């Protein structure tokens, strides 16, 4: 027969007396019950909410305890919102891992005072005052002489008016509460918050192949050639210059133009086929320049307010040094040959994936960590990681933590166009930003649903979107053989819907719209496999790019994602949305059809913009310069993509 077990209620930890009668639950922000951190950037606040209560009519008091990386605990009292909900905020001013917890305890003093105020009978009042005196004495035990005098007054005063005045003295009451024992104390788990630099939340990326930067047709470009373009790129308002892999490119099984299986003389190969006799992931392709040239490029980029983002692709060409030095790091097919990369029907014969199930996994992990650390020492703090979803989650959690220990301001962009849960897991594990499905979301319904999810769902605590209208791998179908107006539309959407966005720069500026073949998202004459000459083809979109990036820098509303709100339109080819940061308000209306003008009514919801629901307001178009008088409710617009695909209104 099973014996009855003894009761074992939770107990307060370290403060107060007795059992943990208070309850703390439903704490936010919380990512998987504290398993992973919520994310913030320096200068933001962490708003903490929780449900805190106790049994019966007992009242509770609550506080948030928090501490910066390597610092001491600090405490902030929480405000009661009603219905047992409590809130407090604290600012984060340092990069690293912060922590916080919520405390709740029985608030005897507040309970006593609330009941004292309602008492009417004289004897009852005097008796209640003595109860209060006992509570004050407990609070003021050696803490402050004023509390001892107050307790004495509550115990000995006979005049009811004076007694009431004494019992309701707000200054003495707050002093007593400061020293009140935290009876029934309960604590939440400790929750982490990862704080990054501001560029983790707000960034503008420009991807460029240095090898195509030469002004001489047919000549391989260099870091020095790219250096000549830095003023132009910075002038357009970009702050992250993303370079595809800069390492030696394999010669064995090198791909030719348009992904031809057999290369011809002079074919330069894919930068993602990393490694040759000149070296691997810590070497530089000699045709681009030397290590000194790269360091100069890093410093020159920094001097213009930008920084280099390096592509990290953990895969190898057949002649990468690791293939000979560490054959156990690669999977073998039944015929003994090394398994090359495939994504059927795509085949990448020039790339060998790394085999993370190798018995020598520890040495492999350490070698890959050392790749990050090598380039961090060369001045790189932003890493775009290729296909992280094809490597184990445990590896990413470990390696990102290792790199951040050495380089706390490191930023990691996850290039994982895959299932949502996989993308979210990578973000939880430490990836700072993530590519998104924006590339394929085109209709008003798709864009509204997707960006509402990104801005308002619980995933926003850990998933920071970075939106790209195109990449070297992806010429989306809606841009294939499309007019330049389609590129303008996608540019406006990316730059105003998302706080971080990027573009495969020269190809996008040129409106490169030619697919290699029908039903393929590959470019014709893809720069992945050959040199391209962009001189003379740029300029059509450059003015709009520059204007939008200037607006992004000038308007705090465009520098974060959480304020995004959509407004109704009566035409599905028109999408309207707003962003707000304090008094900075922007309202954007975009025509989604690149070939036809559209008109309709935009119904402005004043609440997300913080507007008087009954007062008119003015909007000024930052793209066209026009100013209009608008009002909450329906307002008429007409947009012709041949003239301007969008209004970006500043709301006054």
Catalytic residue set:
386, 415
Rounded to whole angstroms, how far apart are CA atoms 500 and 297? 23
Strand residue runs (E) in 593-645: 598-604, 617-621, 627-630, 633-639
Q: For 140, phi and psi rounded to 5 degrees? A: -95, 15
**CA distance from start to end of the chain:** 77
CB 143 within 8 A of CB 172: no
Q: Between the CA of residue 296 and those of 117, 163, 223, 247, 301, what are the distances in Å?
A: 74, 78, 9, 17, 8
Angle at 327 between CA 326 and CA 333, to 5 degrees: 155
CB 330 within 8 A of CB 355: yes
Q: Is 423 left (phi over 0), alpha (psi -120 to 50) or beta?
A: alpha
CB 575 within 8 A of CB 592: yes
Number of H-type helices and E-type strands within the chain: 17, 30
DSSP H helical segments within 467-574, as ranges? 484-497, 505-509, 542-554
Tokens of 143: 């803490």
Residue closest to 356 by CA, chosen among 322, 326, 388, 392? 392
DSSP tag of 55: S
Contacts of 149 (CB under 8 A, 6+ apart): none
Angle at 364 between CA 363 and CA 367, to 5 degrees: 85
Residue closest to 636 by CA, chosen among 644, 646, 628? 628
Rounded to whole angstroms, how far apart are CA atoms 103 and 61? 8
Task: Please report which helix (H) or strand (E) contains residue 65, including its range.
Answer: strand 60-67
CB 318 within 8 A of CB 353: no
Strand residue runs (E) in 70-160: 74-77, 79-82, 85-91, 96-106
Tokens of 35: 């398993």
Side-chain half-sphere of 652: how many Cα atoms within 13 Å?
A: 8
Q: For 305, phi and psi rounded to 5 degrees? A: 80, 15
CB 388 within 8 A of CB 400: no
Preceding amide of 345 cis, omega within 30: yes
Rounded to whole angstroms, how far apart are CA atoms 504 and 468? 8
Torsion of CA 127, 132, 137, 143, to 10 degrees: -160
Q: For 359, phi and psi rounded to 5 degrees? A: -60, -20
Q: Between the CA of residue 585 and those of 605, 611, 632, what are the distances in Å?
A: 13, 10, 14
Rounded to whole angstroms, how far apart are CA atoms 186 and 103? 6
């Amino acid at each position: 027969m099973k014996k009855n077990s003894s009761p074992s209620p939770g107990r307060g930890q370290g403060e107060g007396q007795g059992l943990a009668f208070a309850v703390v639950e439903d704490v936010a922000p919380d990512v998987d019950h504290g398993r992973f951190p919520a994310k913030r950037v320096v200068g933001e606040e962490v708003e903490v909410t929780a449900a805190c209560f106790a049994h019966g009519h007992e009242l509770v008091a609550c506080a948030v305890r928090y501490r910066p990386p390597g610092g001491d605990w600090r405490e902030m009292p929480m405000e009661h919102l009603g219905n047992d909900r409590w809130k407090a905020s604290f600012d984060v001013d340092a990069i690293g891992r912060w922590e916080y917890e919520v405390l709740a305890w029985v608030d005897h003093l507040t309970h006593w005072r609330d009941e004292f105020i309602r008492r009417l009978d004289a004897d009852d009042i005097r008796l209640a005052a003595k109860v209060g005196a006992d509570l004050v004495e407990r609070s003021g035990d050696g803490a402050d002489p004023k509390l001892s005098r107050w307790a004495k007054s509550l115990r000995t005063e006979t005049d009811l008016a004076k007694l009431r005045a004494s019992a309701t003295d707000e200054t003495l009451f707050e002093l007593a509460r400061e020293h009140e024992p935290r009876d029934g104390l309960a604590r939440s788990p400790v929750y982490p918050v990862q704080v990054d630099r501001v560029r983790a939340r707000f960034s503008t990326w420009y991807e460029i192949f240095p090898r195509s930067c030469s002004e001489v047709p047919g000549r391989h470009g260099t870091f020095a050639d790219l250096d000549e373009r830095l003023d132009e790129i910075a002038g357009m308002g970009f702050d992250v210059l993303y370079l595809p892999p800069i390492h030696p490119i394999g010669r064995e099984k090198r791909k030719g133009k348009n992904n031809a299986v057999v290369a011809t003389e002079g074919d330069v190969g894919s930068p993602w086929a990393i490694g040759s006799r000149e070296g691997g992931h810590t070497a530089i392709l000699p045709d681009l320049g030397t290590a000194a040239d790269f360091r100069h490029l890093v410093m020159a980029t920094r001097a213009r307010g930008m920084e280099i983002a390096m592509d990290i692709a953990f895969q190898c060409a057949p002649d990468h040094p690791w293939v000979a030095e560490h054959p156990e790091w690669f999977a073998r097919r039944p015929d003994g040959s090394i398994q090359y990369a495939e994504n059927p029907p795509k085949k990448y014969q020039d790339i060998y994936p790394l085999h993370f199930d190798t018995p020598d996994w520890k040495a492999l992990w350490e070698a890959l960590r050392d790749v990050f650390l090598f380039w961090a020492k060369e001045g790189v703090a932003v890493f775009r990681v290729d296909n992280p979803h094809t490597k184990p989650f445990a590896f990413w959690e470990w390696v990102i933590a290792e790199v951040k220990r050495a380089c706390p301001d490191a930023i990691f962009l996850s290039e994982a166009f895959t299932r949502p849960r996989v993308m979210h897991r990578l973000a939880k594990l430490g990836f700072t930003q993530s590519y998104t499905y924006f590339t394929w979301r085109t209709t008003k319904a798709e864009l509204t649903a997707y960006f509402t999810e990104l801005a308002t769902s619980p995933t926003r605590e850990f998933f920071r979107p970075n939106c790209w209208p195109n990449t070297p791998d992806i010429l989306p179908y809606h841009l294939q053989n499309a007019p330049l107006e389609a590129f303008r539309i996608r540019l406006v959407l990316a730059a105003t819907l998302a706080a971080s966005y990027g573009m495969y720069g020269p190809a996008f500026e040129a409106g490169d719209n030619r697919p290699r073949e029908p039903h393929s998202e590959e470019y014709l004459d893809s720069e992945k496999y050959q040199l391209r000459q962009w001189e003379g083809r740029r300029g059509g979109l450059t003015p709009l790019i520059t204007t939008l990036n200037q607006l992004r820098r000038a308007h705090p509303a465009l520098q974060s994602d959480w304020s995004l709100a959509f407004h109704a339109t009566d035409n599905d080819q028109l999408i309207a949305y707003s962003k707000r940061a304090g008094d900075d308000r922007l309202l954007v209306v975009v025509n989604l059809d690149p070939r036809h003008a559209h008109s309709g009514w935009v119904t402005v919801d004043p609440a997300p913009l913080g507007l008087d629901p009954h007062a008119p307001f003015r909007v000024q178009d930052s793209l066209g310069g026009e100013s209009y008088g608008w009002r909450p409710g329906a307002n008429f617009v007409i947009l012709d993509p041949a003239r301007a695909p969008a209004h970006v209104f500043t709301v006054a």
